[in-house]
């Protein structure tokens, strides 16, 4: 019964050991039986949290443009061990993350309407929701605005990305303290 549950879960999409353990517990399978089945699946390579994490990070970063912080949160929610998550996320370097942020901004900027300051706030907010650090988000939007039009370039010149990122970082830190 436990094997069938696991195989059905895995037929839908790859799963972490923690996700499968949760599915088995929900179905009333004892921890002992669950551990035996999951250990065996681990042994033969049917469950591989590191491979899952690599595939997840590649897919979500490429497809949705998520940054390391958002990806770390998603991996944690799926029960991936912190050391495995950190190792996999370490493979996603800062330059790749910055390039992805720039590509997202350029794509959104094509359809953005409104005053440069409003567009700036919306785009920085979009990147923040995807987990980008304030400095990366602000620089990506500033650079894209500077390349867009004379008016936008004039606005972008007035932006002190480092000072804004520092104040955003303080707000981010304060928000985490409140949580």
Q: What are phi and psi of 163, to 5 degrees?
A: -65, -45
Alpha-carbon distance of 92 to 57, in angstroms, equals 8
Of residues 9 and 152, the one with the higher pLDDT is 9
The string of pLDDT tens digits covering residues 123-164 is: 999 999 999 998 899 889 888 888 876 666 667 676 666 656
| Structure tokens belonging to residue 39 | 């250990």
9, 72 contact by CB (below 8 A): no
- pLDDT, residue 53, reads 94
For residue 176, the model assigns a pLDDT of: 44
Nearest to residue 60, comparing CAs of 22, 84, 29, 92?
92
In 23-76, which ranges are E strands?
none
Average pLDDT across the chain, whole number: 85
Region class of 15: left (phi > 0), else alpha (psi between -120 and 50), else beta: beta
b/e burial code for range 140-178 (CB count within 10 A of at least 16 → b): bbbbbbeebeeebeebbeebebeebbeebeeeeeeeeee
Give which of 101, 108, 112, 98 is closest to 151, Cα–Cα. 112
What are the tens digits of pLDDT across the range 111-134?
Answer: 888 888 888 889 999 999 999 998
């Amino acid at each position: 019964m436990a094997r069938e549950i696991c195989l059905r879960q895995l037929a839908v999409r790859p799963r972490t050991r923690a996700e499968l353990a949760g599915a088995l517990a929900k179905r009333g399978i004892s921890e002992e039986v669950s551990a035996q089945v999951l250990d065996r699946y681990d042994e033969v390579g049917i469950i591989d949290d590191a491979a899952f994490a690599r595939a997840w990070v590649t897919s979500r970063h490429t497809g949705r443009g998520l940054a390391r912080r958002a990806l770390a949160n998603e991996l944690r929610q799926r029960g991936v061990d912190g050391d495995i998550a950190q190792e996999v996320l370490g493979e996603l370097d800062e330059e790749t993350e910055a390039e992805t942020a720039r590509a997202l901004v350029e794509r959104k900027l094509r359809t953005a309407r409104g005053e440069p300051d409003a567009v700036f706030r919306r785009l920085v907010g979009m990147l923040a929701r995807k987990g980008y650090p304030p400095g990366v988000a602000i620089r990506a939007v500033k650079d894209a605005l500077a390349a867009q039009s004379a008016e936008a370039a004039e606005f972008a010149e007035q932006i002190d990305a480092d000072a804004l990122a520092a104040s955003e970082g303080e707000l981010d830190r304060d928000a985490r303290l409140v949580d």
